A and B are shown apart, each in its own frame.
Chain A
């Protein structure tokens, strides 16, 4: 009696499960994440702003009313008007055009610098995590020292010694930024390399490189992507901060941070000179943050529960 009842419940349960399995179509991780991302309004707004600024940066030559070096004699320090929608600076250069070209610097720094950080940090972290031992020890000692050094302090030091310029900004951010991503990758690899699938790959005859590149790295991709989406605004912030104190982008190339820094002393008389670039920095930072938060939630649904 009792056993037949158990039998019947069992059957009912299996039927229900089978029904469910039939209803849900198989969805890949990426498709699923993409769908979740689209449902997040803030993230979509952030993403659209990022795309907008990226397009602005690419097509700056066609969008901007003037070139960023065009000097209009006798038209300096003009308030926003139809001709200069955001006013003109001390040389009579159109502020709007300089802001449009400034998006170029921000976007380039954001993506290229973070790509450099990634291509230094991931291999080092993967090596330390996979091989362990002395490689790992050495890396962790370097990481300890770098953590004692406030990052911004280090970046300012490198920049003021190397001199201004976009290339030097890449060097400075690359040299200081890899530490965190290396640590993250190391932690991921450390926990993954003991898993069964890794053992299976080794048993099937895969070499060390293949195991890391084909099995371990793809499985630790989500946290790396999440840290990437927060690394990009950090790189943009670093460039703006460096240019603000005068050790970032060299003039006449416009950068938003530099425009705020150069004109903050005139804030009382010519507010528009530093307010518009400040709004630019604020917008791009917020857009990346919203997008990053959305991506993290979409890629790692466990966090939301």
Chain B
């Protein structure tokens, strides 16, 4: 078990290196430079000033050297200064904004998992009934609609017409509601669909017939015998959902004015803020890898047949 975890963590290193290399290559191979940005509000700089800036940021060195300097510093946890927010380091920005994104993302995931499971269970138990039909319709809508489109409809409906919640911001818990639900809808639908189909498979299986035959209460059969087995395939889908919640937050944070990392990420990309881009990409990479590891470890808890070696 410990060896398994260590080996998985060691495997993250080549993956992250590859991600860093790809990102670095794309940034430096494409036309344009952070000194002469294409951003709307960028000031044109004189060639002399550009040379000085390049020296200051180390952009005058050969590209391969820049990559190794970046790696050397990144290993020590130093991602340098932001090019766009000139007097702040990348670490400062991340320390301020990442907790907000993490907060929003985890609330959304909790909502998605709880609601998705509930929807899926109800749909499976009432297979082909009205509840099932409504559930699959809801799931279809939530999967098909991009979250910024949903956000527009939610703001109009809940903030303007019904005046239940504010349109945006992140100061009071009341302002958390809409962003959380918007971000949770997509993953919720995927979980609901998956739970439904795997539960239906298990409801027909022999061990469930046995459980019913020995006189167990139907609720116990569904919640203990069926759900526990159905959770394993559902878990496989939850791993990749973290990625969806992560990238989905760019849009949700923009439209609800949430001061999280997602908004900074888009700004840093269009402003060619090299240190910031590298840091955010690697942060997402590490985060996803850890979440996938946790999901894989959870399999073992749910299914003792799985051995880690």
Binding site for B on A (CB under 8 A): 144-145, 148-153, 156-158, 160-163, 233, 237, 240-241, 244-247, 257, 260-261, 264, 267-268, 271, 274-275, 278, 281-282, 285-286, 288-290, 293
Contact = CB atoms under 8 A, between A and B. Distances in A.
B288 A145 contact: no
Contacts of A290: 140
Contact of B251 (A153, A160, A245, A288): A245
A163 B32 CA distance: 9
A260 B152 contact: yes
A290 B155 CA distance: 26
A212 B299 CA distance: 38
29 contacts: A145-B19, A148-B19, A149-B285, A153-B281, A156-B266, A156-B269, A160-B272, A161-B30, A244-B148, A244-B254, A245-B251, A245-B266, A246-B270, A257-B148, A264-B151, A264-B254, A264-B255, A267-B152, A267-B155, A268-B160, A271-B156, A278-B153, A281-B145, A281-B146, A281-B149, A282-B144, A285-B144, A285-B145, A286-B140
A247 B143 CA distance: 23
A156 B264 CA distance: 13
Given A150-B288, A271-B156, A233 B149 contact: no
Interface stretch (B49-57, B96-104, B227-235, B242-250): B242-250
Given A160-B266, A160-B272, A260-B152, 9 more contacts: A157-B281, A161-B269, A163-B31, A237-B146, A245-B251, A260-B149, A267-B156, A282-B145, A282-B149
Nearest to A153: B247
B277 interface: yes
Contacts of B155: 267
Contact of A152 (B144, B247, B255, B281): B247
Contact of A149 (B22, B140, B265): B22
Interface in B18-69: 18-19, 22-23, 26-27, 30-32, 38
Contact of A244 (B140, B246, B251, B270): B251
A43 to B, nearest CB: 12
A267 B32 CA distance: 34
B15 A144 contact: yes
Nearest to B30: A161
A231 B290 CA distance: 28
Contact of B152 (A152, A247, A278): A278
A273 to B, nearest CB: 10
B149 A278 contact: yes
Contact of A148 (B15, B265, B269): B15
Contacts of B27: 157, 161
B127 to A, nearest CB: 13
Interface residues of B, number: 45
Quick one: which of A148, A233, A271, A293 has the most chain B CB within 10 A? A148
B284 interface: yes
B143 A289 contact: yes
Interface string B251-283: 100110000000001100110100001000100
B141 interface: yes
Contacts of B149: 240, 260, 278, 281-282, 285
Contact of A264 (B144, B152, B284, B289): B152
B198 interface: no
A268 B15 CA distance: 45
Contacts of A244: 148, 251, 254
Contacts of B289: 148
A288 B144 CA distance: 9
Interface in B119-166: 140-141, 143-146, 148-149, 151-153, 155-156, 160
Q: Which 8 A-B pairs have the closest CB atoms?
A: A160-B269, A161-B30, A152-B247, A150-B243, A289-B144, A278-B152, A145-B18, A285-B144
Nearest to B245: A150
A249 B202 CA distance: 47
